[in-house]
């Protein structure tokens, strides 16, 4: 499974890690729903830490799309909401 951390690149993670990532992903979803920035920040940090520690870097010259995409470290909750609401943030 290929995971991208926005602004940092891609990592490959073994599928066996999926349940853990899913749990962390649910926590992030809940935080975004609630709109609580502190909760969002700790959920995002936990996810990033898990992906960074479990994943191995994809080589720079490999062209592959990602199964999962994580927001960048310092992303604000509103930025992630905007990203999810459409493609406005992705430049042409």
Partner 1 sequence: MGILQRMSMIFRAKADRALDRAEDPRETLDYSYNKQRELLVKVRRGVADVATSRKRIEVQLSQLTSQADKLQEQAQRALSLGREDLAREALTRRSGLETQMGDLQTQHDALRAEEEKLTLAAQRLQAKVEAFRTKKETIKASYTAAEAQTRIGEAFSGISEEMSDVGMAVQRAEDKTAAMQARAGAIDELLASGALDDPTGIAKDDITAELDRLASTSDVELELARMKRELTADTEEAPQALEAQPDAAEQASAEPVVEAQTQPRREEGRA
Q: Which residues here bind partner 1, judged by CB under 8 A?
A: 3-4, 6-9, 21-22, 25-26, 28-29, 32, 47, 59-72, 80, 83-84, 86-87, 89-91
Question: Are 3 and 10 in contact, with CB atoms under 8 Å apart?
Answer: yes
Q: Which is nearer to partner 1, 25 or 36 (CB)?
A: 25
Shortest distance in whole angstroms from residue 29 CB to partner 1: 5
Instruction: For the CB of residue 35, give the shortest distance to partner 1 in the complex, in Å.
Output: 14
Minimum CB–partner distance for residue 71 and partner 1 (Å): 7
Q: Which is nearer to partner 1, 38 or 60 (CB)?
A: 60
Write down the residue that tokens 């943030």 correspond to.
89
How far, in whole angstroms, is CA 68 from its chain's centroid?
Answer: 7
Name the minimum Å distance from CB 69 to partner 1: 4
Provide the 10 A C-beta neighbour count for residue 80.
20
Q: CB within 8 A of 77, min separation 6: which ones?
A: 31, 32, 35, 37, 40, 41
Token pair recorded at residue 11: 């990592």
């Amino acid at each position: 499974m290929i995971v991208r951390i926005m602004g940092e690149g891609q990592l490959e993670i073994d599928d066996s890690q999926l349940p853990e990532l899913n749990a962390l992903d649910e926590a992030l979803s809940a935080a975004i729903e609630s709109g609580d920035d502190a909760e969002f920040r700790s959920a995002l940090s936990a996810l990033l830490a898990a992906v960074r520690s479990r994943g191995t870097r994809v080589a720079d010259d490999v062209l592959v799309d990602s199964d999962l995409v994580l927001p960048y470290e310092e992303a604000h909750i509103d930025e992630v909401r905007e990203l999810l609401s459409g493609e406005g943030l992705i430049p042409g």
